[in-house]
Amino acid sequence: MTTHTTQTANAAGPIVALDLGKYKSVACVYRTADDQQFTTLPTTRAELTRLFARHRPAVVLIEACLLSGWVRDLCLELGIECLVANTTSEAWKFKHLKRKTDRDDALRLAEVYLLGKFPSVAIPAKEVREKRALIEHRQKLVGRRVALQNRIRAILVAQGLAAPVGVRAWSELGLAGIAAHARPLAECAAAELWRGRLELTLNELTYVRALLEQADHKLDELAKADEAIQILATIPGVGPRTAEAVAAFLPEPRRFRTTKQVSAYGGLVPRQYQSTDTDHRGRITKRGPRTLRKLLVECAWCMLRYNGWARAVYQRLTHGGKTRKKQAIVALARKLLVRCWAMLRDGAAWHDPHTAPKEPLPPSKRRRQAEAQQRRAAKQQPPPALLLPATP
């Protein structure tokens, strides 16, 4: 945001900077550097509506948090501009502070905005936010199911019994075999309480699996009407769960201009520290949506079985060896994210770059390739023999 825009908004009305809290929030009504008013109020729609009606702000500034979604929606309903600060940016890395209060945080929002350095972040529509929340809720249920399966294994192994292994162990037949060792907790003797714990864990696993089926059914129902998911489903090795996550976290693909921006949004680019002669690149930043990054990495492993392009990229990055497999998978996940973004941006289905017909090269590139071939051919020719003068 430029300085001119900041001054225009400030002239149209005061700036209201909110440090949002779960129950109480602190508002800084900033008019000038010498005219600032702080107010503590409950974090409710009614109180915020009264605050905005009383001061008529030109812009409302908040930080990205759990409450930022409905606060932004309220500002849009009232016709007030609302900017959400990206708290992971460098402007929010406060060091050497001797005091940090809610008033200081609210005032800092207004001051950074007036400097023209406000790191705003895009907030999607409510429908998109709800779909993201359902996808993340399903991931929590999957994690809970895995934890319960591990607990069942631990209970059986502690009693010297064979632990269930493989997918078939959690089928109806496999669970029936595990349930043969379980008993209701009220009927267990003191030496066989493990049978009661096994019964409780099996009941909880059944309940979690039922909840997971409900979430899958709803997501499948939403995917039928989503054109973006249908496009991403054409990628060999990409399932419905990965496709719906990419479509939900990239609802507006055209707001990214380059592949570097998309990769940075997914947190799949390396950290960089550069100073004079030092240029160090470390692990990936892991910024952005964690659920999207997790599903992309899982999908990258799966694509090695079904996608020729993915296998070629993986072999090239690992040089056909057994080292740096994890780094190659992360790089493949980044490339997959970039290709998904390009497909959503162009509305095009998947095509394998190795099997698709190649487009004719432009004249300039054909000329450069011909010159390169001539230089290689000249290097391969043997040098001319030296003619020595005849001896008398």
Q: What is the mean pLDDT of each run of 10 residues along the chain (392 residues)?
A: 40 87 94 92 95 94 92 94 86 70 89 88 92 96 96 95 90 94 94 95 97 96 94 94 95 93 92 80 88 95 91 89 87 95 94 67 78 82 62 58
Q: Which CATH architecture has domain 3-114?
A: 2-Layer Sandwich (3.30)
- Determine contact, residues 177/152, Cβ cutoff 8 Å: no
Residue 273's pLDDT is 83
Model-level pTM? 0.80
Q: How far apart are CA 66 and CA 87, in angstroms?
A: 12
By C-alpha distance, which of 37, 94, 27, 88 is closest to 61?
Answer: 27
Residue 5's pLDDT is 39
Q: What is the dihedral of CA 137, 138, 140, 141, to 10 degrees?
A: 130
Residue 96's pLDDT is 63
Residue 386's pLDDT is 55
- Determine contact, residues 243/223, Cβ cutoff 8 Å: yes
Q: Is 347 left (phi over 0), alpha (psi -120 to 50) or beta?
A: left
The DSSP output letter for 120 is: B
Residue 117's pLDDT is 84
Residue 357's pLDDT is 57
Instruction: Compute CA 190 distance to the chain's CA centroid, rounded to the nearest angstrom.
Output: 48
